[in-house]
Amino acid sequence: MNLRALQADDAAAWDDAFHWLWPVAFSAAQAKLQPYLPAEVEDVAIESLEALVEKVRSLKSVEELKPLVASIAHHRAVSRLREWFTKTRGGGKTIPLDPLGEGGLADCPDPVADSPPVVLEQKELAQRLRRTIGELRPPTDAIMMDRFISELSYEEIARKHGIPIGSVGVYLKRGLETLRRIWGRREES
Amino acid sequence: MNDDHFFDLAMKVIAGQATEAERAELDGLVARQPKLKTEFERQQADVRLAREVLPLVSATQATTPELPAYARGRLQTKVRQTLGRPEASPPAGTDEQRRMMWRWRWLLGLATAAAAVALAMVLWQAPAPMIQVALLDTAGASRGSDAKELAGLQQTWNKAQVESFSSAEKAGAWETNWPGDGRRAVVKVLYDRPAGELRVLGRWKGKPFAKTFVVEQDFAAALNQAKRFIQEQTGG
């Protein structure tokens, strides 16, 4: 990926960039919208890449692209959710459409709560995301995802990564400390 | 007290994967050492943060899905508009020739627009929504009031066949089974008798909509409200 070519409006470079960045925009939007507004995921992903076009001249390196796209998509998805919640709450008693599928809402973060990824400015969010990607080294990153996104048990994680079960907690503890250091706590942010 | 043991125990409890015995052990530890309560709360906050941040980290590593073809054109247009690739030069010729050309272009544009509007008026007619209606009564369907309510549902949506369910599971399966190909609105109306609710769920133009009407004394009024809501949402 050549940032200069993008900044110089090279159509072929943009074509490559859109193919490369689409999964990022789509996945970031999907993470927020899928349980509530799945039909809007593609729309938000397109808008996010359009917004990237407007910001590309302010970037200094290609490594900024993915975190920036993810942060734009995240912010736009949160805005959509807020609009939707406002509209539905104002329009009479409503029911959520299969929120989070089988698992329900128990123990899951409020999708529009004022957590660091929601309250941070887009640029700041992208910077912290970039730091996180840099500091959360393998296999800690994969073990964290397995635990906190896929909700695997310690035993399943140990089997998957071929590590002793006693090491799983060590990786998780280290990973959580890294996140806390980069993102700060809610009350501190 | 081993820190790692407490961490692992708390992780299990926070994830809802702890056994009764493990939960009791954690409660006992916290009761004996109050500072562990603070540690537990910090761990809960850390997990909440991880659940917010990790999907974004994961998104930056995603390699699927593929960019849809329709999005590519729209995005390339945005690039041209924003980063300013020059448009084609204006046609050469005298001022008078250019003025004539613009007049013709204007007339041609007007004629095209008029034809498009006329064609749209002929072709466009919103297809009627597909409405499915059901009644859930876990107490059985033999009472007189059921028959009256069934008749009310049938009368309000006379093209629909009203289905009856005696279990919430079956009604739930019906509510989540969506027919149609997206070319017309699909609406499901479920009268949940035990809950005293008339639920409307629908999908139109790729967007879901839903509203619940509480049935108090007047079932007919709730039916009318639901019918109006469907018309507002689907235009049909």
- Inter-chain CB proximity A95 and B51 less than 8 Å: no
User: Most B CBs within 10 Å: which of A1, A3, A15, A26, as the mutation test of the B interface?
Assistant: A26
Claim to verify: residue A104 and residue A177 sit in the same structural domain: no
What is the 3-class SS of chain B, one letter each residue?
CCHHHHHHHHHHHHCCCCCHHHHHHHHHHHHHCCHHHHHHHHHHHHHHHHHHHHHHHHHHCCCCCCCCHHHHHHHHHHHHHHHCCCCCCCCCCCHHHHHHHHHHHHHHHHHHHHHHHHHHHHHCCCCCCEEEEEEECCCCCCCHHHHHHHHHHHHHCCCCCEEEECCHHHHHHHHHCCCCCCCCCEEEEEEECCCCEEEEEEEECCEEEEEEEECCCCHHHHHHHHHHHHHHHHCC
Claim to verify: residue A62 and residue A143 sit in the same structural domain: no
How many structural domains compose chain A? 2
B87-116: pLDDT as tens digits? 444 444 555 555 666 676 667 777 777 776
Claim to verify: residue A9 and residue A97 sit in the same structural domain: yes
- Inter-chain CB proximity A169 and B8 less than 8 Å: yes
In a domain, A160, yes or no: yes
B157-182: pLDDT as tens digits? 888 888 888 877 777 778 877 777 67
Mean pLDDT of A55-71: 92
In a domain, A116, yes or no: no
A168 → chain B, closest CA residue: B8
- The complex's ipTM works out to 0.86
Mean pLDDT of chain A: 85
In a domain, A128, yes or no: no
**Residue A110's pLDDT is what?**
61
In a domain, A13, yes or no: yes
- The domain that holds A68 is classified in CATH as 1.10.1740
In a domain, A175, yes or no: yes
> What is the extent of the structural domain holding A101?
1-110
**Residue A173's pLDDT is what?**
96
Claim to verify: residue A87 and residue A21 sit in the same structural domain: yes
In a domain, A131, yes or no: no
Q: Which of residues 91-130 of B touch A (CB under 8 A)?
A: none
**Residue B175's pLDDT is what?**
80
Mean pLDDT of chain B: 80
Sheet strands side by side (includes B186-192): B162-165, B130-136, B186-192, B197-204, B207-214
In a domain, A25, yes or no: yes
Claim to verify: residue A19 and residue A54 sit in the same structural domain: yes
Q: Is the pTM of this model over 0.95?
A: no
- Inter-chain CB proximity A117 and B58 less than 8 Å: no
* Residue B14, C-beta contacts closer than 8 angstroms, at least 6 positions apart: A107, B43, B44, B47
- The domain that holds A179 is classified in CATH as 1.10.10
In a domain, A96, yes or no: yes
- Inter-chain CB proximity B56 and A145 less than 8 Å: no
What's the half-sphere exposure (Cβ side, CA atoms, 13 Å) at B2?
7
Claim to verify: residue A53 and residue A144 sit in the same structural domain: no
**Residue B99's pLDDT is what?**
63
- Inter-chain CB proximity B68 and A169 less than 8 Å: no
Claim to verify: residue A100 and residue A35 sit in the same structural domain: yes
Q: Which of residues 15-54 of B touch A (CB under 8 A)?
A: 15-17, 43, 45-54
- Select the residue of B15, B57, B63 nearest A141 (Cβ to Cβ): B57
B120: closest CA of chain A, how far (Å): 26
pLDDT band at B55 (very low <50, low <70, confident <90, very high): very high
Bigger pLDDT: A59 or A104? A59
Claim to verify: residue A81 and residue A174 sit in the same structural domain: no
